[in-house]
Structure 1
Amino acid sequence: MLIESFLRYIRYEKNYSSHTVLSYKNDLFQFRDYVVRETGEFRPEQTDRDQVRNWIVSLVKEGDLPRSVGRKISALRSFFKFLVLQKVIPDTPIRNIQLPKIRKRLPSFVKQEEMDLLLDEVDFGTGFNAVRDRLMIGLLYSTGMRRSEMIGLQDTDVDLDSCSLKVTGKRDKQRIIPFGKELRDMIRVYVDIRNEKAGGATGSFLVRENGEPLYPQLVYRVITRYLSSVCSLTKRSPHVLRHTFASAMLNNGAELNSVKELLGHSSLASTEVYTHITFEELKKSYKQAHPRADKKGGNYGN
């Protein structure tokens, strides 16, 4: 009962996404089942630190990766904070819990020359789908928005006069993203063919040929197919274009805080990961360009 109350709380009061709610539900039910196996019953108000620690040990022994374990503990931490808020328990048992160390992976991104090749040289074909698919790539690369944010765009969110988009992000937070003349021209071409093909404005900005809104898997297939034509990245999802936008902005002199606002990050720490990308590229360029970068050391007077 308490778990269900918590799930309703984060869904309807905290505005967590349905995906996050489902993940938390699975994690909490897994913890509940573990406690029931060990003690015979699950009473959240009697959960102690040792039970949590033992659960972590069992997860690691079963082969769960550190990132997965960290997410499960995050769900548990939020749950017990909720119970404190509801005065079910006086304090949370999730204190001083040592989590497995997670090695942070740098986000994948497409090189600038590969994006230029995609947008300038690749043949998208003709017709409605071709124009829309090219615009999708242009939108993700030029604005850094998330796939869900792009799908959620409404006609009223697109202002061609000011060259700006109103984007609704996580937890319904809105932000304004500017764009350039190239994207404006792509939008105009798309709107003309969409109004002709789909019978005019339908509310949703990006649609299918039948006028219905896009869905996530369609966007994923389109982006993956075209990225595969210009790069050999293992990961070629729509989110890679968000990473590509951020690294391109920083590589070309944008301030970190500006990129944070454009991406809709709540914390600067989320944006700082892209500075590591730019430094890695700087090191690679140095090794490729400097004549003595890879020269081995010799006898220097010893």
Structure 2
Amino acid sequence: MLTDSFLDYLRYERNYSDKTVRAYGEDIAQLQEFMKEEMGESDLLRVDPDLIREWIVSLMDKGYTSTSVNRKLSSLRSFYKYLLKQGKIIVDPLRKIVGPKNKKSLPSFLKEADMNRLLDDTDFGEGFKGCRDRLIIEMFYATGMRRSELIGLDDKDIDFSASLLKVTGKRNKQRLIPFGEELEVRMREYVNVRNEVVPGRSDAFFVRESGKRFQPTQIYNLVKRNLSKVVTLKKRSPHVLRHTFATTMLNNEATLGAVKELLGHTSLATTEIYTHTTFEELKKVYKQAHPRA
């Protein structure tokens, strides 16, 4: 059989895993089943571009994502290229087939009301740990810095007199981020508690109870644990707070260029994804509020 020969080729000549080979086989069988329903036959050598296009439409109608459909098309492309090399077909039926475009996922972010509940109404606990954990959440939200930038922050990088933070981003590129009075109060409070409770510590601004710098996983778990108190978002990572910072700034009339500099993006195109996020939020508000939406 053509399919068996192709799968043996993948398994023994291309060294594909059993799982991958099985997925290729299932994709081909799914097309064959569709062909049988539409044409009353299942000869894969008689597949044409029109049938492939109809199959794509049927998959999308059944709720398959564009990513899933494109993965199936990739399997079929490999199959028909193999048949072409074997001389079983003269023309590849997928030669001019274009799969559905994959949708770009918009960044997850918290609404201002959720952030207010988190920072104003949530109990972070008493003492050094509670003071520190709350400040970490607020630092992400107030500055938009990356997780690695927060972990790498040292005492010397904070200029209280100028209200500036110096962070080291990707490719060791440094930038300055301003901070406001509210964050300054929290930072000074934290420093006082930290210096009293953790005498022997590293140069890091944020430290664990041992005085050592945080590991990335520890910051991730800290943020996830606290975001879970107010939201049920699938993603509850430090990067969500970075997205929240950018979205909040743009919703409150900050310019795209200013947000780009604050986030440390090298290209304005990277920052522009947040304009889509704010527009999606506007569409939701419109649909909820307008009687003719």
Give the secondary structure class of the aligned counterpart of 1:177: strand
Letter in 2 for 1:289: A
Equivalent pairs: percent with the same residue? Answer: 55
Equivalent position of 1:168 in the other structure? 168
Deviation at 1:103, TM superposition (A): 2.0
Give the secondary structure class of the aligned counterpart of 1:171: helix
Letter in 2 for 1:123: D
Listed as ranges, the matches of 1:40-55 within 5 Å are none
Letter in 2 for 1:193: V
- Cα separation, 1, equivalents of 2:194 and 2:261: 31
Equivalent position of 1:92 in the other structure? none
Equivalent position of 2:292 in the other structure? 293
Deviation at 1:61, TM superposition (A): 4.9
Provide TM-score, normalisation by structure 1: 0.65
- Cα separation, 2, equivalents of 1:144 and 1:61: 43
Deviation at 1:37, TM superposition (A): 5.1
Matched, 1:213 2:213: yes
Equivalent position of 1:276 in the other structure? 276
Is this contact kept in 2: 1:194–1:200, CA < 8 A? Answer: no
For each residue in 1:78-137, what CA deviation from the matched residue of structure 2 results, as whole angstroms up to 9, or x when unmatched?
A: xxxxxxxxxxxxxxxxxxxx9995320000000000001111111111111101100100
Equivalent position of 2:135 in the other structure? 135
- Cα separation, 2, equivalents of 1:111 and 1:182: 20
For each residue in 1:174-213, what CA deviation from the matched residue of structure 2 results, as whole angstroms up to 9, or x when unmatched?
A: 0000011111011001100111111166311100011010
- Cα separation, 1, equivalents of 2:258 and 2:204: 28
Q: Which runs of 5+ in 2 are unaligned?
A: 1-9, 16-20, 28-65, 71-97
Give the secondary structure class of the aligned counterpart of 2:272: helix
- Cα separation, 2, equivalents of 1:37 and 1:243: 45
Range with greater deviation from structure 2 (101-110 or 172-181) = 101-110
Listed as ranges, the matches of 1:63-78 within 5 Å are none
- Cα separation, 2, equivalents of 1:38 and 1:125: 56
- Cα separation, 1, equivalents of 2:99 and 2:168: 33
Provide TM-score, normalisation by structure 2: 0.67
Residues 124 and 142 of structure 1, relative CA distance in 2, 3 Å threshold? same
- Cα separation, 2, equivalents of 1:61 and 1:169: 42
Q: Which runs of 5+ in 1 are unaligned?
A: 1-33, 40-57, 70-97, 295-302
Listed as ranges, the matches of 1:154-193 within 5 Å are 154-193=154-193
- Cα separation, 2, equivalents of 1:99 and 1:181: 52
- Cα separation, 2, equivalents of 1:256 and 1:140: 19
Matched, 1:231 2:231: yes
Larger Rg: 2
User: Which stretches of structure 1, 4 residues or longer, exceed 6 Å deviation after superposition?
Assistant: none
Equivalent position of 2:59 in the other structure? none
Is this contact kept in 2: 1:155–1:201, CA < 8 A? Answer: no
- Cα separation, 1, equivalents of 2:123 and 2:186: 15
For each residue in 1:131-167, what CA deviation from the matched residue of structure 2 results, as whole angstroms up to 9, or x when unmatched?
A: 1100100110000001011000011111111111001
- Cα separation, 1, equivalents of 2:160 and 2:200: 17
Deviation at 1:273, TM superposition (A): 0.3
Is this contact kept in 1: 2:201–2:207, CA < 8 A? Answer: no
- Cα separation, 2, equivalents of 1:153 and 1:249: 23
- Cα separation, 1, equivalents of 2:224 and 2:201: 28
Aligned length: 212
- Cα separation, 1, equivalents of 2:100 and 2:171: 29
Deviation at 1:236, TM superposition (A): 0.6
Give the secondary structure class of the aligned counterpart of 1:202: coil
- Cα separation, 2, equivalents of 1:141 and 1:203: 23
Deviation at 1:293, TM superposition (A): 3.1
Range with greater deviation from structure 2 (100-109 or 232-241) = 100-109
